[in-house]
Amino acid sequence: MRVDLLIKNAAQIATPVTRVPHALPGNNNFMVIENGSVAIRDGVIAAIGETPEVISSLNGEMPRAVIDASNKVILPGFVDCHTHPVFFHTRENEFTMRLMGKSYRQIAETGGGIRSSVRSIRSASKEQIIEAVLPRLDRFVEHGTTTIEAKSGYGLSTDDEIKSLECIQELDTIHPLDLIPTFLGAHEIPDEYRTQRNAYIDLIINDMIPRVAERALAEFCDIYIEQHVFTIDEGRKILTAAKSAGLHLKVHANQLSANGGAALAAEVGAISAEHLDYISPEEIEQLARGNVVPVLLPGAVFYLNSNHYAPAREMLEAKLPVAISTDFNPGSCMTESMPIIMTISCIKMRLLPAEAITAATLNAARAVNRQNTIGSLEIGKQADLVIWDMPAFEHIVYHFGVNLADTVIKKGKIIWQKQRNPVLKLYRKKLKESLQ
């Protein structure tokens, strides 16, 4: 068998699976292969299993390249299915204000929050925005993420929303990370429409959505349902218009209050409902009946110093495919790191390590309608995977706050590799020599 890249001898390959045998007890859809190898051809997984099996499947043919993953763990690349990376200025001043006692809502009401990011994105050119976003995309990759969903939503005028979506489109072509675009014109009411919110909703429905859909600038349409932002009725109107324009739907729901957003997501046939910190058992049922993926964002709960986490275990008991994501944004969760979010998910929402990995990979892929191509390591799937410098998969959540990524592979190609510090390398060499 012709193979472009063989990754061999991994201490473990750990992945959720949609098909396949040897699952861990209690984790029917999670598989751990000890001494595992993966063979990649044309950017796709051609063989995966125990090393001797995979080697014999090559029928003596030499792979074009080989990586030895001894003492390391291979996981699928993370799918970060809810991010807001297209902002211009950062908002560290609000971080300090919150530490001094101001709430997220109070900061928003005095012109900070999303509205401050709106003023900033409007002031910037496309080129300036792209330059600001690129290092963020590098950081996603460095921390093991190979696909992100990326929302607009800091433009809030037709031109600035389109500008943001064009940036996402261009970044997707120039950066190896895959970006899946979501139109979030209904993120907030912009200042100039404060006293005429209906006119803004008309603008979204009659101008923004048709133009975004016509140019295929977004795959999803999202909305922020919350007190002081959009109501259920307004949400229904906007999402219905987006659906008839051919966009798939997402809803920011039940983040700061029990606002009925999750029920709306089920009613309009959204692919996912996101946040869900204040969800009722009835709404969990509605999500299950409507096949809506719950995307939980515990990093935002942590960062806003709330203790009201989404009831992840209840959702898992209701057989919902729980996904987790960073919610990367300059206000309520400034991190590109999925592993830190996974650790928070385990400690605060009581996910088990295998459940956190599934939530960050296959279930997150479901939230962006990519479950057939990414999110797990199975024959025929895109070869998006990460080699981690750890002896067992649990270390991804257990050994927290440091980056243990070693090599990131996207579509079968190495796109990032850890640089070893030359000074430490030299020191280790000397140490070894002195011991001989």
Nearer to Zn ion, 80 or 384 (CB): 80
Nearer to Zn ion, 37 or 152 (CB): 152
DSSP string, 115-171: HHHHHHHHHS-HHHHHHHHHHHHHHHHHTTEEEEEEE--S--SHHHHHHHHHHHHHH
Nearer to Zn ion, 327 or 384 (CB): 327
Contacting positions for Zn ion (CB under 5 A): 327
Nearer to Zn ion, 150 or 362 (CB): 150
No. of H helices and E strands in the chain? Answer: 18, 17
Nearer to Zn ion, 327 or 406 (CB): 327
* Closest CB 9 distance from Zn ion, rounded Å: 40
Cα–Cα distance, 334 to 331 (Å, whole number): 7
* Closest CB 220 distance from Zn ion, rounded Å: 12
| The pair of three-digit structure tokens given for residue 126, joined into one six-digit string | 């496309």
Number of neighbouring beta carbons within 10 Å of residue 163: 19
Beta bridge pairs of residue 295: 274, 323
How far are the Cα atoms of 43, 392, 435 from residue 396, in angstroms, in the given order?
25, 8, 32
Nearer to Zn ion, 333 or 385 (CB): 333
Cα–Cα distance, 238 to 261 (Å, whole number): 13
Nearest-Å Rg of the Cα atoms of the chain is: 22
| The pair of three-digit structure tokens given for residue 425, joined into one six-digit string | 């390398």
Buried b (16+ CB within 10 A) or exposed e, 235-253: bbbbbebbbebebbbbbbb
* Closest CB 240 distance from Zn ion, rounded Å: 21
Nearer to Zn ion, 46 or 251 (CB): 251
Nearer to Zn ion, 160 or 274 (CB): 274
Number of neighbouring beta carbons within 10 Å of residue 305: 10
Residue of closest CB approach to Zn ion:
327
Pair 295, 364: CB distance under 8 Å: yes
* Closest CB 251 distance from Zn ion, rounded Å: 11
- DSSP letter at 418 equals P
Using CA atoms in the order 232, 236, 239, 243, what is the torsion angle rounded to 10 degrees? 160
* Closest CB 82 distance from Zn ion, rounded Å: 6
* Closest CB 411 distance from Zn ion, rounded Å: 27
Amino acid (1-letter code) at residue 353: P
Cα–Cα distance, 254 to 264 (Å, whole number): 11
Nearer to Zn ion, 117 or 382 (CB): 117
Cα–Cα distance, 106 to 98 (Å, whole number): 9
CB contact set of 103 (below 8 Å; sequence gap of 6+): none
* Closest CB 43 distance from Zn ion, rounded Å: 31
* Closest CB 136 distance from Zn ion, rounded Å: 15
* Closest CB 62 distance from Zn ion, rounded Å: 47
